[in-house]
Chain A
Amino acid sequence: MLILVKFAKDKPAVLGAAIVLAVVAMAILAPLIAPYPGDVAASHLLQRLKPPSPEHPFGTDNLGRDILSRVILGARGALMIALLVVGISMAIGVPLGLIAGYQQGWLSQTIMRVTDIFLAVPQLILALALAQLMGPSLESAMLALTLTYWPFFTRIVYAETRRLAAALFIDALQCIGAGASRILFLHILPNAISPIIVRATIGMGFTILVAAVLGFLGMGATPPDPDWGLAIAESRQYLPEAWWFSTFPGLAIFLTVLGFNLLGDGLRDIVDPRLRRSR
């Protein structure tokens, strides 16, 4: 298909896709490919803080757990947060953006002002507040991230909807009697997909990063979760000698976020109706 051919020519995008696929595979197959799957909870104090070696390619942490296994197992939590946060943000933000962009009256204004209010809330502060209220956990982190991410979707969908609502083909649809919901969901939404997809993929990377920060601050995942951010937090006391403790989880975060960003850029370029072909 023309879309795949075009995508294959974009080297950074292919790299991004490869990284993302690897991370997803890692997450799905985690218990099968981690060399020491039991190291989610177990501790082997005799093995603590061993440098990288053939039995432990990424070394061991302060409780003697294999870091490679914990990095692989941590992918699950990272991806799950990212998928849930981005997914729910889209489910809230996209319809609101469509409605606000299509109507022009008080409803539209109200939605956009509420969006502005939520945009003004700093993510980390809200996460801290919720962690206080609900007790620090992955759930409170996800709630904070979702509440502060949906407005981004609303904003871009609003802009795209306003632009498309003025398009001639929308006028033609109104002339033949199509109703507002048909126009919004079958005609405006598909043509607005491009920025939504880009935002979603970048959002995945961004969420993983912020979740790692929250884990680092102790406001998200709690021990003994193999969370990447949490691992970096735990590693602080043992630097700089046990450099492998923070380096590998950090690399995992870096590569995953990079992968999603490159993929997002590549997707933006290929989501173009002109690439839809009959042959």
Chain B
Amino acid sequence: MSKNGPIALGFNALVIAFMLAPLLIVCAVAFTPENTLSLPRTQLSLRWFKAVFAHADFVQSFRNSLLLALASATIATAIAIPAGLAITRYTFPGRDALNGLFLSPLIVPHLVLGVALLRLFTLVGATGSFFWLVLAHVVVITPYALRLVVAAVVGFDRSVEHAALSLGASQATLFRRVTLPMILPGVTGGWLLAFINSFDEVTMSIFVTAPSTVTLPVRMYMYATESIDPLMAAVSALMVGLTAAAMLLLDRIYGLDRILVGQH
């Protein structure tokens, strides 16, 4: 494996700068003491962060997003575990089709899904319902939870389960004391990844949220199309911070590179 030459490293540096630029600028501008979008030149100020917490709409939206993400990630993971076990442990006719269905939300554009769910919700009178919004998010994030659950189940040494059975464990005890603890890192990673995706989701949410259930990214989108000021930067910086914290947690539990790229 020959090393990278200076051109390669220079190229790499440019790409890295490119990827980080918008995130860094957002975090920098968030600390500006000025009234307009500008880099803090003389001093750092927390005024815009305070403004965010004083802005009732943003606080409400943040609460919505948090609850929404917690609920939908939990439900998504709960249905992903049995579904993942079903498609990896058993061979049966229709398995490939079922697997395709479970992963299909990944190839349906969020826009189309948003529009379609808007139609459904209007017909059943579910607009404005937090519960139905949660279900909508579950649809979108389940593939992420499922992929990690499947990876955990596939990498599982079946003979450990045989060992437990031979020592007298019942099926229930087997699942509770052996299977579940062993797939837990994958399951937790799946939960966290689903959480992050729900929290970030904007395109579908724009169509299915109502004034009372507006999520943070949707609120940000609406705000950004009307006025541009450092308040937006502060909210963005907070979101980046939250994502960074979630990433650290994810790395601790599961390994961030494994999640983003898959098992080596």
Q: Do A and B come from one complex?
A: no
What residues of chain A have their CB less than 8 Å away from a CB belonging to chain B?
none
Residues of B within 8 A of A (CB): none
